[in-house]
């Protein structure tokens, strides 16, 4: 059986976990490994302020709290995304305004954002699907023109770039995921990256249950107390220890994923030339991180048959998001602006192939041969 995903494993990660438990004897939040991870991301991605969180979902919730979303505010985002992108803002009372996607990258179509803006719009939330960047120059220009916040859902975009900048560091706030299914993992976890300096101090407070505990530890106040709303968004240092070992190897891990991605692409290129499938498109300005490898079939019917054919041959391949605007909660908490020209249609064509760190050349060849066999 060729699995769709295998979580990244490193021996060094286990060594660091044991170190946190047995030697440092400190496993709660904001210990040595959490700080190391924060600093690593700040230094390597040129981010002013990074805080590990318990998930990307929670990083997005922190973003909604930081930009002070209130009842009736509108947030613009693609419908083709994970539920957390929308939920984080709906929890604060926002209405989600979905816009259509581009067919090449499956990212929100930046040309449709401006007409979706109303006097209630508070933020734009670009989602970098498959670790391939949205058109950030255009999105930042629109945000500046209408004084909107930009919250990047960079859950899949760790190590990816737009031009020479890392994803997650371009908007006011960026959100990473370190879930088991992502390129770097701490089991469940994430990070919030703060660019807008107005949010730095409050981010620490919101993440620490609304207290100024961090200022207390730094000796800046003589006791800590409840100063704002907040929750517990800080992960255990055990999880951070596991992640830190992967960050130390981030370039090697990224290169190895890219090499598997390029092999998939080269092996399947002929099928695209023959007009059977579509391969992913990486725009010139984007450096991706091989988070995902997908192909597009002609339509839903062909995709369903191909999934079965792969399964019968011991290969697990899966589709992805059901567009949020067509879901029960999406209809209740959001609306689709304009016409759904591409979102539903393209979402029904996508088929994600096995893609993980350490996938063998033999497996990649078997996947390609099986797909050729189908056609």
Comparing CB distances to ligand PLP, the nearer of 134 and 302 is 134
Comparing CB distances to ligand PLP, the nearer of 55 and 212 is 55
Q: Which two tokens stand for residue 168?
A: 């997650």
Comparing CB distances to ligand PLP, the nearer of 62 and 315 is 62
What are the residues binding ligand PLP (CB under 6 A)?
A: 55-57, 81-82, 84-85, 127, 153, 155-156, 177, 179, 190
Q: Which two tokens stand for residue 155?
A: 């859950």
Burial class of residue 155 (count of CB atoms within 10 Å of its CB; 0-12, 13-18, 19+): buried
User: What's the min distance (Å) between Cβ of 226 and ligand PLP?
Assistant: 26
Distance CA 65, CA 276 (A): 46
User: What's the min distance (Å) between Cβ of 85 and ligand PLP?
Assistant: 5
User: What's the min distance (Å) between Cβ of 179 and ligand PLP?
Assistant: 4
For the beta carbon of residue 307, count every other beta carbon within 10 angstroms: 17
Determine the Cα angle at 288 with ends 283 and 290, to 5°. 125
Q: What is the β-pairing status of strands 173-177 and 49-53?
A: unpaired
Comparing CB distances to ligand PLP, the nearer of 277 and 330 is 330
User: What's the min distance (Å) between Cβ of 135 and ligand PLP?
Assistant: 17
User: What's the min distance (Å) between Cβ of 181 and ligand PLP?
Assistant: 7
- Three-state SS at 279: coil
Comparing CB distances to ligand PLP, the nearer of 84 and 254 is 84
User: What's the min distance (Å) between Cβ of 142 and ligand PLP?
Assistant: 21
Comparing CB distances to ligand PLP, the nearer of 268 and 324 is 324
Separate counts of helices (H) and strands (E) for the chain: 13, 13
Q: Which two tokens stand for residue 324?
A: 């949020």
Comparing CB distances to ligand PLP, the nearer of 156 and 287 is 156
User: What's the min distance (Å) between Cβ of 319 and ligand PLP?
Assistant: 14
Residue 198 near residue 210, CB atoms below 8 Å: no
CB within 8 A of 176, min separation 6: which ones? Answer: 41, 56, 59, 154, 155, 157, 158, 168, 190, 191, 192, 193
The CA-to-CA distance between both ends of the chain, in Å, stands at: 21
- Three-state SS at 137: helix
């Amino acid at each position: 059986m060729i699995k769709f995903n295998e979580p990244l494993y490193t021996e060094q990660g286990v060594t660091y976990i044991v170190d946190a438990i047995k030697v440092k004897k400190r496993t709660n939040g904001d210990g040595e490994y959490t700080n190391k991870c924060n600093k690593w991301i700040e230094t390597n991605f040129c981010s002013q302020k990074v805080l590990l969180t318990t998930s990307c979902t929670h990083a997005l919730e922190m973003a909604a709290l930081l930009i002070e979303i209130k009842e009736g505010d509108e947030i613009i985002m693609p419908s083709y995304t994970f539920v957390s992108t929308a939920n984080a803002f709906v929890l604060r009372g926002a209405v989600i305004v979905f816009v259509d996607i581009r067919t090449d990258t499956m990212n929100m179509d930046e040309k449709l954002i401006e007409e979706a803006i109303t006097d209630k719009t508070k933020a734009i939330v670009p989602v970098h699907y498959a670790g391939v960047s949205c058109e950030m120059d255009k999105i930042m220009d629109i945000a500046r023109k209408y004084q909107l916040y930009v919250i990047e859902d960079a859950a899949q975009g760790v190590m990816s770039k737009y031009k020479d900048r890392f994803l997650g560091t371009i908007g006011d706030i960026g959100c990473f995921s370190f879930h088991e299914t992502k390129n770097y993992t701490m089991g469940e976890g994430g990070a919030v990256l703060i660019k807008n300096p107005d949010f730095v101090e409050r981010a620490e407070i919101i993440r620490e249950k609304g207290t100024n505990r961090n200022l207390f530890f730094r000796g800046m106040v003589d006791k800590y107390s409840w100063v704002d709303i907040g929750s517990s968004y800080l992960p255990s240092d055990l999880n951070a220890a596991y992640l830190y070992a992967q960050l130390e190897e981030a370039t090697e891990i990224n290169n190895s994923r890219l090499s598997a991605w390029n092999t998939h692409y080269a092996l399947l290129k002929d099928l695209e030339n023959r007009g059977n499938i579509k391969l992913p498109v990486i725009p010139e300005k984007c450096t991706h991180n091989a988070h995902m490898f997908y192909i597009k079939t002609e339509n839903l019917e062909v995709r369903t048959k191909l999934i079965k054919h792969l399964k019968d041959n011991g290969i697990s391949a899966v589709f992805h998001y059901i567009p949020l605007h067509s879901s029960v909660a999406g209809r209740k908490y959001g609306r689709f602006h304009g016409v759904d020209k591409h979102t539903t249609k393209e979402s029904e064509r996508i088929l994600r192939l096995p893609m993980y760190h350490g996938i063998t050349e033999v497996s990649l060849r078997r996947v390609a041969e099986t797909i050729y066999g189908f056609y």
